[in-house]
Structure formats: structure tokens, C-alpha cells
Structure 1
Amino acid sequence: MNTILQILNVLFIIIQVVIAAYLLQSSFLLLIFCIKRIFRKSNPVVAGEEDEGSKKHSFAAIITAHKNLTLVPPLVDSLLKQNYEDYVIYIVADACDEQSLEYNDPKVKFLKPVTHLNAKIRSIDYAINHFIAPHDALIIFDTDNLVHPDYMQILNHYFNQGHRAVQTNLQPKNTDTLYARLDTAGNLYNNFSDRLMRKELGLSANIWGLGIAMETSLYKEIIYQHFLGGFDKKIQADIVKRIPLLAYAPEAMVYDEKIDNGDALEKQRTRWINAYFKYFKYGWDVLLTGLKRGSFNLLYFGINLLRPPLFILLGSAFAFAIINLLVSVAWTKFWIGAILAFVVSFFLIVLVMQKDKKIFSALFYLPFFVLRQVKALLKIKAANKSFLQTENNKVLYIEDVLNR
């Protein structure tokens, strides 16, 4: 009996150490960021600094529309205003039965599948199979996105550096509601922890499901088994093992519509949480591959693929703090300190990434945001049965965003 109790005690400590490491990770990264900024200034890529004679890559900008084309024109408009020439825009209008768009510009190809695809992955494959010319790389967009005029010019610079896959910088298209600001705060935190600091440390960055550019040949190597949600989990787990570095381009701005109400947030997070559990095994795969190859890059990437969503980490921390009142008061004090360190780090990271007082003030309403995610967790089975598309409706043009 004593042996069993000892084993359970060891497991209990190990689990606490793992959760604490995840929770305190942002604090350590913030410390590293501050130290590096004291001794070294960042050198951002500036559009137009391309060396003479450098290659002009051909890009395929793929827009995956499902049932609604309302937000496509603003995105196409921003793409047509690129300070770059060699690209084609592919609009895949899946299940948009009564809708159509007409463009006379040779850079725009409108595709309307006869059979409903009902999955972003299938829409991307459909676009690839209808390329009107060979493209060196493809870029994946959602309909609610907008892109900065220098977007492709900066991407071309990264591909000329030898990168085969590049995640671009996701910024908010709208911050007019409390939920939009909280959604933005979450993105800023993730951009810092999973992208900017990975770049600072010379490690591969996590990707979003949009604004990811990669060599067309590299994308074709990925084989899918699941089609409903979380395709970005599959992409990054596969390509990070195939290339030296999954790069991050903070200078290449892509704007994304933020969730503006609680119901939409629940639907989106239900899909995301379901994808985390569905693709959990890929985290172990990357981690084990890193161990076999002796690659710290893959090890770190795999460890963070296994990292639970933040609200689950926080919930676990609070639970351990309470449980340890009966086990170890010292551990309870530790957990209280760890929770406070995380909260302070979260606030500081948001402030570092974007000095917007409205977004910072919205952070005091985070408990409501967390509660919505808990409700989403209770609905994850629904994500296996339907597409759970997030409804977007902010018709904004790139000038509206750049001039605000």
C-alpha cells in the first residue's frame, strides 16, 4: 500500500511540475525578450529591400469561401493592391449556390465546385488542382481577412532567404466590441509566445489556419485523414519535421476578423478545443521525432503542441492550489505565486505587443471570456458532426484598417 501511495505521490508531483512549466513559460519568455531588447535592437524586414537580381516567387493566394461570399470583395481588393506582381488569386466558392462574383482582372480566378466540399482542406486541394500556372508557393486565407499592401513583397524576401514555409503576422481587423478586444488580446499573447519569441530563439513558429505561406510542393506532401476543423494542427506537425525551420514574418501583416459576441466565441472555441484533442497524437509524434533526431527545435515544438488551452491550464492551477491545502501548504503558496506571475505576464505581453488602451482595459473582463471557453469545452462533440463555421460580417476594406 505504501508503495502505491508513493507512486501516486510521484505522479501527482510530476503532473504539477508539467502544468507549472507550461504556466510559467510566458514569464520566462518575457524575461528573455526584455534582456534581448536591452542588449540588441530588432532588425525588421522592410519592403523593397530585396537584393538586385533576387528571385520573384510566384504566389497562389487561395481564398476558401463557404456558403457566403459577402466578405470576399474586400479581401480581393486588398490583394489586388499588393506592391508585387507575380501572383494569382483563387476564390473557391464552396456551397455558395446562389452567389457568384465576376472579375475581369487576369489575376483573379473564380472557382465554383459542382459538389459541395464542406471542408477547408478540400477547398484548398480544389484550388491547387485548378491552378492556371505553376506557383512556387501558396498562401491560405479565410474570407474575412485583409492583407497589407507590402504583404507579398515581404514574403518574397523570406522565401529568398531559403525558407520553405512562413507564418505571417495576424492582426485584428476589428476591435469595436469587448469580445473582439479580448479575442485580440489572446492573439497577441499567442503571437508573442508561439511566434515572435520562437523567431527570437531561432525556433520554428506555430502556424494559424490562415496567412500561412508555403512551397506548393511542400503542401502536396501532406496527407489528410480528418477534414472537419484543425487542419493547421496537421500541417504544422507534418511540415516542421520536413524543413529546418518554420519561419515567422512579423512584418507581413494579415488582418483577421475578431469574434464580437459570446455565442460566436463558443462556436469557434468548440471547434478549436475539439481539434486540440483530435490532433493530440501529433504532438507526441513531433516530440518523439525530436528525441530520435536530437533536435531541440522539434522537442520544443512537440512539447508546446501538447500544451493544453490556457483556460484549462489556469483551471488546473487553481485546482492544484485548492487540493494542496490538504497536502502541502508550500505547494499552495507556489501555485498562488505561479497564477499571479502568469496573469501579470499576460497583461505585460499584451501591452508590449500592442499599446492600445482599449485592449488592455478589456483584460479585466477575462473571466467572462474564460467562462465561454468552459461552455465550449462541454460542447466539443458537436465539432465532430458539423463544420461549425464562425459567422463573420465586418465588411471593411484595407484602407479602413490602415487609416484608423
Structure 2
Amino acid sequence: MEFVLHMIEGIFFIPFLIWIIYFLVFSIGYRMPRNQEFKQASTQHRFLVIFPAYKEDAVIVESIRSFLKQDYPHHLYKIVVVADNMQEDTNEALRTWGATVVIPTYKNRSKAAALNLAITSTQGQEFDAVVILDADNLVFPDFLDQFNRVFSSGCKAIQAHRIAKNENTDTAYLDGISEEINNSIFRKGHANLGLPAALTGSGMLFEMNWFKRIMPKISSMGEDKELEYHLLLDGIFTWYLEDVYVLDEKVQNRRDLSNQRKRWIAAQIDTFLLTFGELNTIFRTRNWSMLDKLVQWSIPPRIILLGIIPIWVFILYILAPILMYKWLVLYLLFLIALCLAVPNRFYNKRTLISFLKLPFIFIAIMRSFMGIKSGRSTFVHTPHGEKKEDYSN
């Protein structure tokens, strides 16, 4: 029995060690100073800006009005809103503000389907790049000008810095911190160490010809991860612009958080399996960026690691105390990595108080695992624009 326990513990320890060392390395990378400058562009490119919107009447008009404040020639960008299940007065307001409104008729709803429809609706029109934003996103007036500067330097894929638009509930506040940890580890930390940044679903730019070629191949609920997969296959480096901000509304209660994570986890598992099937090719072609992504997509949600390791340590304390010490060291390294990845502005009293809600978040994320199957094929809408109260369970 003791031999079996030691074997299980040893097998269990290996992936956790890889995951936590991974976090630690890129958290340190995030703290490394690195200057990234792009020359002023000599050419102004033409952009297609897509806003997929499903029942987003509460936020979409504000987002379009905000975007139209760009310090960039209006004739050089076109806004397309894919208006799925939205009210006609909202659609009319969008048209009044100059957006092209495309109303879908597809049955299999997904963000990928909306993006493909937007591309189809603009056939025959010339664009150099496509910009993808969510219906609740707000940007600053220099957004397109900054994208144009980087795109003009030869970058074919760009990810902006998405930050929280709202902090009105503890769940939204913690979701904002989680997003920033992702930015630190998977975007800036990677960029500082010479690896491509991860996509985050909005605030993204892609070279148009590449996007038109790849997008019809994508139909899953995790379009951003599939796009990453194809970028890596084609050897395209994704640049991260830390100083170009996209304000994104965070989920405001644990039920919506669970639903959102259900979709994300399902997409991550599917993309991991797809990439794992290319393992031989990865090593043969020495595609280390793809190998890095394979490790990243194997990692469970951080909140799961935060909750599971203490439970496992307690089990070891009961059954085999000698085995628990290395887990305690590993957990300490994990906490150090997270502390390094949290931006300095979050070191305050509210963060400390909000952390008391983490056990409830842990339960909500655990629940999301029960709906992974539906998350693969069912469109899950995250409500925006309304204040939601936190649930106690």
C-alpha cells in the first residue's frame, strides 16, 4: 500500500512541478525590463474592425461611439457589427453612427461563425488587416494609430493589453486580477523572453490575407486558441503591446464566471489534444514556441491548483507525512510566482479582502468542469452592462 501511494504521489508530482516552474520562469520574465519601440509608420493601412455582438444592446452602442473617437482617418477603417439577437432600435442606432450591421441567420452560433460572416459580408473590399474587439470593449483614441505603427513594422499578429473596465463586485475585481496575471505570464513574460504572446479573444489584429485563409477552418467555441495554433504552425510571432489598452468588462458574479470558464476550459482541452497530436512534428521541426504552448494548454486553472495542492498536502499529512514537505515547497514557489505576476497596483487592502472569496471561486470553477461537454458545442453568452450581485454559493 505504501509503495502504491509513493508511486501515485510521484506521478502526481511531475506535472505539478512542470506547471509551477513554468509559472515561476515567466513571472520572473514579466519583471525583467525590456524596451520595445516601433518607428513611426510611413504608411496608413486600412483596417476592418469587427465587433461580434450577441444580445449586447446594453453596451455595443457605447463601444462604437467610443471607437469612433480614433485619431485615425475614418475612411481608412470600417466597423462591422455582427448583430445577433439584438433589438432593431439598437441596430438602427449603430447604422446612424456609421457602423455596418450584419444580421446573422446561422443556427450554430459561435464567435468564429460571427467572424466568418463579417469577412464574407465585406468580400470585394480591400483591407490590410482585421481588428477584433468584443461588444463591451472600449479603446483609447490612439488605438488604431498604435496598431498601424506596429503592423507597418512587419508584425502580422498583435495582441493589445486587455484590462478590466469594471471592479464593481469582488468577482469582477478578482477576474481583473486574473486577467492581469495572464497578461504578466502568458503575454509580457513570454514577450520579454522572446516567445510569442498568447491571444486573449479581443484587442487582436491579424494580417488580412492570413486571416481570410485560416478563419474558414475554425468553427469551435475557442476561436482564439485555434488561431494561436495556426499562427504557431505558420511560424507567425504574436506581438504584445503592453501600452495599448482595451477595456474589457469582467464577469460580476460566480454563476457567469463558471459558465465562462466552462467554455474556456473546453476550448483549452480541445486545443491541447489537437496540439499534442502534432508532438512528433513539433520536435522534428524544432517548433519550440508550439511546445511552449502545449505546456501552457496543459495547465489547469490556477484557482484549481491553489485549492487542490493544500487538499493533497492534507491527505499526505494523514497517510505519509514525509512526502508532504516537497509539496509545501512547491506550493511556496507557486505563491511566489503569483505574487511576482500580480501588478504592483493590486497590492492593497481591497485585494486582501477579495482573496477571502477565493474558496467560493474555487467551487464555481470546479462546477464548470461538469459542463465541459456542453462547453465544446454550445454557445455560452456572458451578460454585459448590468450590475450583478455576488452569489453566496
TM-score scaled to structure 2, two decimals?
A: 0.87
In the other structure, the counterpart of 2:390 is: none
Q: In the alignment, is the contact (CA less than 8 A) between 1:82 and 1:152 conserved in 2?
A: yes
In the other structure, the counterpart of 1:400 is: none
In the other structure, the counterpart of 2:26 is: 29
| Corresponding position: 1:387 with 2:356 | no
| Corresponding position: 1:156 with 2:148 | yes
Provide structure 1 residue ranges, at least 5 long, that are not aligned to the other structure.
396-404
In the other structure, the counterpart of 2:257 is: 265
| Corresponding position: 1:96 with 2:96 | no
> Residue 61 of structure 1: CA displacement?
0.7
1:312-331 to 2 correspondences below 5 Å: 312-325=304-317, 329-331=321-323
Structure 1 315/282 Cα, relative in aligned 2: closer, same or farther at 3 Å?
Answer: farther
How many residue pairs get aligned? The number is 383
Q: In the alignment, is the contact (CA less than 8 A) between 1:16 and 1:320 conserved in 2?
A: no
Distance in 1, Cα, partners of 2:215 & 2:105: 23
1:168-247 to 2 correspondences below 5 Å: 168-222=160-214, 227=219, 229-247=221-239
In the other structure, the counterpart of 2:54 is: 66
Distance in 2, Cα, partners of 1:29 & 1:225: 31
Q: In the alignment, is the contact (CA less than 8 A) between 1:287 and 1:298 conserved in 2?
A: no
- Per-residue CA deviations over 1:115-150 (Å, capped at 9, x if unaligned) read 555221111111111226211111111111111211
Structure 1 306/149 Cα, relative in aligned 2: closer, same or farther at 3 Å?
Answer: same
For residue 370 of structure 2, what is the amino acid of its counterpart? L
- Per-residue CA deviations over 1:50-106 (Å, capped at 9, x if unaligned) read 15xx22221111010113333111111121111122211001112336452245679
In the other structure, the counterpart of 1:43 is: 35
> Residue 382 of structure 1: CA displacement?
3.4
Q: Which moved more, 1:337-346 or 1:100-109?
A: 100-109
In the other structure, the counterpart of 1:130 is: 121
Aligned-pair identity in percent equals: 25
Q: Which moved more, 1:266-275 or 1:336-345?
A: 336-345
Distance in 1, Cα, partners of 2:358 & 2:371: 20
Q: In the alignment, is the contact (CA less than 8 A) between 1:164 and 1:243 conserved in 2?
A: no
Which residue of the other structure, out of 41, 59, 67, is the alignment partner of 1:79? 67
- Per-residue CA deviations over 1:201-242 (Å, capped at 9, x if unaligned) read 110111111111101221223266774521212111111221
In the other structure, the counterpart of 1:350 is: 342
> Residue 245 of structure 1: CA displacement?
1.1
> Residue 200 of structure 1: CA displacement?
0.2
Structure 1 376/104 Cα, relative in aligned 2: closer, same or farther at 3 Å?
Answer: closer
Q: In the alignment, is the contact (CA less than 8 A) between 2:26 and 2:186 conserved in 1?
A: no
Q: In the alignment, is the contact (CA less than 8 A) between 1:66 and 1:94 conserved in 2?
A: yes
> Residue 306 of structure 1: CA displacement?
2.0
In the other structure, the counterpart of 1:17 is: 14
Partner SS, residue 221 of structure 1: helix
Q: In the alignment, is the contact (CA less than 8 A) between 2:112 and 2:215 conserved in 1?
A: no
TM-score scaled to structure 1, two decimals?
A: 0.85
In the other structure, the counterpart of 1:142 is: 134
Distance in 2, Cα, partners of 1:223 & 1:179: 33
Distance in 1, Cα, partners of 2:29 & 2:118: 42
Q: In the alignment, is the contact (CA less than 8 A) between 1:57 and 1:156 conserved in 2?
A: yes
1:370-385 to 2 correspondences below 5 Å: 370-384=362-376
Partner SS, residue 255 of structure 1: strand
In the other structure, the counterpart of 1:119 is: 110
1:240-255 to 2 correspondences below 5 Å: 240-255=232-247
Q: Which moved more, 1:18-27 or 1:159-168?
A: 18-27
> Residue 381 of structure 1: CA displacement?
3.2
Distance in 2, Cα, partners of 1:217 & 1:106: 28
Distance in 2, Cα, partners of 1:373 & 1:104: 39
Q: In the alignment, is the contact (CA less than 8 A) between 2:28 and 2:340 conserved in 1?
A: no
Partner SS, residue 61 of structure 1: strand
For residue 288 of structure 2, what is the amino acid of its counterpart? F
Distance in 2, Cα, partners of 1:312 & 1:263: 17
Structure 1 320/392 Cα, relative in aligned 2: closer, same or farther at 3 Å?
Answer: same
Structure 1 319/67 Cα, relative in aligned 2: closer, same or farther at 3 Å?
Answer: same
Structure 1 352/102 Cα, relative in aligned 2: closer, same or farther at 3 Å?
Answer: same
For residue 203 of structure 1, what is the amino acid of its counterpart? L
Structure 1 285/107 Cα, relative in aligned 2: closer, same or farther at 3 Å?
Answer: farther
Q: In the alignment, is the contact (CA less than 8 A) between 2:133 and 2:202 conserved in 1?
A: yes
Provide structure 2 residue ranges, at least 5 long, that are not aligned to the other structure.
388-393
Higher helix share: 2
